[in-house]
Amino acid sequence: MGGPDRACPVCAGQSALRWDGYSSSSWDIVRCTNCDMSYLKNPVPYEALEEDFAWEKTYAAKAAASSGSTPLSQGVRKLRTRLGILHRDKQQAFQRWFNNGHVLDVGCGSGQRLRPPLTPYGIELSKALHAQADTFMKAHGGYCAHGAGADTIWQFPKGKFDGILMFSYLEHEVEVNKVLTGAYHALKDDGAVFIRVPNFGSLNRRLIGAKWCGFRLPDHVNYFTLKTLTDTCRRAGFSTQLVNKISLPLDDNISVLLRKI
């Protein structure tokens, strides 16, 4: 069912060890022996992600199968609530980080993550979601391009954007370095990139294993820790600032803000 094997998306290394507890007869999740990055070795082609494995189709199935992972996940969420570690609407942070300017949302879904006074632009692979996003963004001064993020981001002019979002996107991208260097190209010198990805180093993943909510095959192809995410972004020319410092050990996601070095 899987596609051809790929090298490590971070360092291009060929040597990797299989995570047997997380892999299956169809899918091989491995850890690079050179840079420690974990990733899906045999992802499906982009064409399959447009239709057969489109996000809006696989998300519901995964949520139903995991029910939030396990009862332990519910306990972790209750602890996070008690400690005041909650997910909040980031619109105000986006406006502050991106100077109320032009912002590109890579893997934008239906396209309504960015609101005025920000001017929204997007890239979306799913044909159905692209149509929704393009309609919304054109109504607010921007537009949505259809295609794979790593290729399509290079269609935008150099230095066009005050900000770039990769919100629950980079875990889906086979060509990680290409999309990040594309972001560097399209970003203004004083701009910023916000990234949120599943936290492979989380307590929840370590304790509950294969039922962890961050595993969603075949569309999650990269599994970052803070260390491997920082290393990946540095190779593309970015410094990394951790946004969710307090919650990180108990958080199933990593949130970082990138600036050009």
Per residue, the 3-state secondary structure of 149-196, as one string, reads HHHHHHHCCCCCEEEEEEECCHHHCCCHHHHHHHHHHHEEEEEEEEEE
Averaged over 2-14, what is the pLDDT? 93
Which has the higher per-residue pLDDT, 3 or 210?
210
Between CA 119 and CA 139 the distance in angstroms is 10
Q: Give 58-101 pLDDT, tens digit per residue.
A: 555 545 555 545 455 555 556 555 555 445 678 999 999 999 99
Averaged over 240-246, what is the pLDDT? 95
pLDDT of residue 60: 53
- Comparing C-alpha atoms, which of 235, 99, 97 is closest to residue 167? 97
pLDDT of residue 165: 98
Tell me how long the chain is. 261
pLDDT of residue 51: 56
| Residues 68, 213 contacting (CB under 8 angstroms) | yes
pLDDT of residue 153: 98
Neighbours of 71 (CB within 10 A): 10
Query: Thinking of the domain 46-260, which architecture would CATH place it in?
Result: 3-Layer(aba) Sandwich (3.40)
Averaged over 161-185, what is the pLDDT? 97
Q: How confident is the model at residue 183 (pLDDT cuts 50, 70, 90)?
A: very high
| Residues 229, 165 contacting (CB under 8 angstroms) | no
pLDDT of residue 3: 84
Handedness of CA 255, 257, 258, 261 (dihedral sign): negative
Q: What is the pTM of this model?
A: 0.87
User: Over 90: is that where the pLDDT of 135 sits?
Assistant: yes
- Comparing C-alpha atoms, which of 231, 253, 210 is closest to residue 65? 210
